A and B are shown apart, each in its own frame.
Chain A
Amino acid sequence: AQKVTQAQTEISVVEKEDVTLDCVYETRDTTYYLFWYKQPPSGELVFLIRRNSFDEQNEISGRYSWNFQKSTSSFNFTITASQVVDSAVYFCALSERWDSNYQLIWGAGTKLIIKP
């Protein structure tokens, strides 16, 4: 069963528009972490944010903001005033306990295209 769902396969907006990338997760653990990573066209994976399950405060970092809502199991990512350089694939991931280890479970990714 899919544990991290990024329902938007691809989003295309015009530069300066705001855009929200959705992430819905599923877990039975009470303690877990959520991550967002960015994969630009060059291919590397860049860490953006980490949020633990006990901290539901929204976070803002420049034009980026994240909305974590446990009640709906969502951890959405908004880019304000988008720029062409924001074009990338964005991944949401869930870190939860798995046996004696932890497992990082990834969504399928959302490809974001920002048109000039």
Chain B
Amino acid sequence: EAQVTQNPRYLITVTGKKLTVTCSQNMNHEYMSWYRQDPGLGLRQIYYSMNVEVTDKGDVPEGYKVSRKEKRNFPLILESPSPNQTSLYFCASSLQAKMNTEAFFGQGTRLTVV
């Protein structure tokens, strides 16, 4: 089954404790991205990757890191999480970085930083 898999689904952590949210897709998609969803703001892009070893900042990259060593995986790293990073996070992939390409989303990761 074609899918984007994020883990974990829920995470509660303390300020400053490094964490990684994993994302994997099995569709051989080139383009992957991370979004955060906050009430009243919709989804905002954190980072994106157009292909292996190619990553770039989205609209709200501060406090996050990503890597794309393999095509299928695109982990999101919070080196020193803070309470303002409490949010619902989505990983997405699409076949190519083109305007008309449908994005497939993971199930979401609800992160709480206390």
Interface residues, chain A, with chain B CB atoms under 8 Å away = 4, 9, 31-33, 35, 43-45, 47, 50, 52, 91, 93, 95-97, 101-104, 106-109
Q: What separation, in Å, do the CA atoms of A109 and B38 have in the docked complex?
A: 10
In-complex Cβ contact of B42 among A4, A47, A95 (8 A): A4
**Category for how many chain B residues contact A:** 20 to 34
Q: Is the CB of A44 within 8 A of B108?
A: yes
Q: Is the CB of B48 within 8 A of A101?
A: yes
Chain B residues whose C-beta falls within 8 Å of the C-beta of A107 in the assembled complex: 42
Q: Is the CB of B103 within 8 A of A102?
A: no
Chain A residues whose C-beta falls within 8 Å of the C-beta of B98 in the assembled complex: 102
Chain B residues whose C-beta falls within 8 Å of the C-beta of A32 in the assembled complex: 99
Q: Is the CB of B99 within 8 A of A33?
A: yes
Chain B residue with the shortest CB-CB distance to A101: B97
Q: Is the CB of B43 within 8 A of A43?
A: no
Which of B43, B90, B104, B108 lies at the interface centre, i.e. has the most chain A CB atoms within 10 A of its CB?
B43
Q: Is the CB of B100 within 8 A of A33?
A: yes
Task: Give the Cβ gap from B84 to chain A, nearest Cβ, in Å.
Answer: 18
Task: Give the Cβ gap from B9 to chain A, nearest Cβ, in Å.
Answer: 9
Chain B residues whose C-beta falls within 8 Å of the C-beta of A103 in the assembled complex: 45
Q: What separation, in Å, do the CA atoms of A31 and B99 have in the docked complex?
A: 9
Q: Is B47 an interface residue (CB 8 A)?
A: no
Chain A residues whose C-beta falls within 8 Å of the C-beta of B52 in the assembled complex: none
Contact (A43, B42) CB under 8 Å given A52-B100, A95-B100: no
